């Protein structure tokens, strides 16, 4: 079966599963499934009973929470390769957020029960997960910092930097991976604010924006502008889990 071959390849490449036992990986591949999710497809809802966790194979997935009156807070927007829903293990088997595909995506689903079992049986996996969790925690801490110390334009600059190849020295072209409205919500601002703040960023740094394409002469333009309001030095490692 082609599907399981594909799943196998993806799973074996995940850092978190490098330490897993072969038996576990076999069982995991057996019960893995790929799903096509169109733009807007809701994968699960906050506080649903959780029996699966997921990996983004391609596309983008938004994690978010909603209040009763419909206001929405975006927790994160995940690119290909990221795991989500796995923390339900520690949350009474219920999802701590809702998940929705925001671009046409392929999602792999896997049973939480297997993961739960293997984490208890295999210390190496528990350590790998601990390490991943610590990295995520650091990211969230930084997010909170950014929201308090950076203004809208600086947050956009920082976002662009994280999309770029951080090693590059010359001119760079960046493509926004999803709608600007969505970038705005990811950065905790309104679409209108995003639009205006991007304009301000353009004036301040000389970057060029055409639709979803951003061109910079060099990273320094943005680094000066955004990273001055951040406690970390520029090459912000720790970005990909």
Partner DNA sequence: GGTTATTTTTGACCTTTGTCAAGGCGCAGG
Partner DNA sequence: CCTGCGCCTTGACAAAGGTCAAAAATAACC
> Which positions touch DNA (CB under 7 A)?
151-153, 179-182, 188-199, 209-212
Site residues for a copy of itself, window 90-129 (CB under 8 A)? 90-91, 96-97, 119-120, 123, 126-127, 129
Return the bridge partners of 33, or none. Answer: 109
CA distance 41 to 102: 8
Q: Closer to DNA at the Cβ: 2 or 210?
A: 210
Residue 51 CB coordination number (10 Å): 13
Under 8 Å CB-to-CB from 230, ≥6 apart: which residues? 142, 145, 146, 149, 150, 158
What the block records as the tokens of 205 is 């740094």
Q: Closer to a copy of itself at the Cβ: 80 or 133?
A: 133
Here's the x/- map for a copy of itself, 165-194, by CB under 8 A: it reads as: -----------------------x------
Q: Closer to a copy of itself at the Cβ: 215 or 238?
A: 238
Smallest separation (angstroms) from DNA to the CB of 35: 21
Smallest separation (angstroms) from a copy of itself to the CB of 188: 5
Residue 187 to residues 73, 144, 147, 159: CA-CA distances in angstroms?
10, 11, 8, 8
Q: Closer to DNA at the Cβ: 29 or 227?
A: 227
CA distance 34 to 56: 10
Number of residues engaging a copy of itself in binding (CB under 8 A): 42
Site for a copy of itself contains 67 (CB under 8 A)? yes
Using CB under 8 A, list all residues that contact a copy of itself. Answer: 46, 65-69, 71, 73, 75, 87, 89-91, 96-97, 119-120, 123, 126-127, 129-131, 133-138, 140-141, 143-145, 147-149, 188, 228-231
């Amino acid at each position: 079966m082609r599907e399981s071959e594909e799943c196998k390849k993806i799973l074996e490449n995940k850092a978190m599963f490098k330490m897993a036992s072969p038996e576990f990986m076999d069982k995991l591949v057996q019960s893995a499934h790929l799903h096509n999710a169109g733009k807007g497809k809701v994968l699960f809802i906050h506080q649903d009973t959780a029996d699966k966790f997921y990996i983004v194979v391609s596309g983008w997935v938004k994690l978010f929470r909603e209040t009763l009156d419909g206001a929405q807070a975006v927790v994160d927007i995940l690119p290909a390769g990221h795991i989500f829903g796995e923390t339900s293990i520690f949350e009474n088997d219920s999802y701590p957020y809702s998940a929705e595909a925001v671009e046409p995506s392929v999602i792999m689903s896997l049973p939480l029960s297997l993961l739960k079992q293997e984490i208890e049986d295999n210390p190496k996996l528990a350590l790998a997960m601990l390490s991943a969790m610590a990295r995520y925690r650091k990211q969230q801490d930084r997010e909170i910092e950014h929201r308090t110390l950076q203004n809208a334009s600086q947050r956009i600059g920082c976002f662009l930097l994280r999309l770029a190849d951080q090693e590059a020295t010359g001119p760079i072209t960046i493509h926004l991976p999803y709608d600007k409205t969505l970038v705005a919500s990811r950065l905790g601002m309104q679409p209108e604010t995003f639009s205006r703040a991007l304009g301000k960023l353009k004036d301040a740094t000389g970057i060029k924006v055409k639709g979803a394409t951003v061109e910079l002469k060099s990273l320094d333009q943005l680094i000066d502008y955004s990273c001055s309001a951040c406690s970390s030095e520029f090459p912000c490692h720790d970005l990909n889990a």
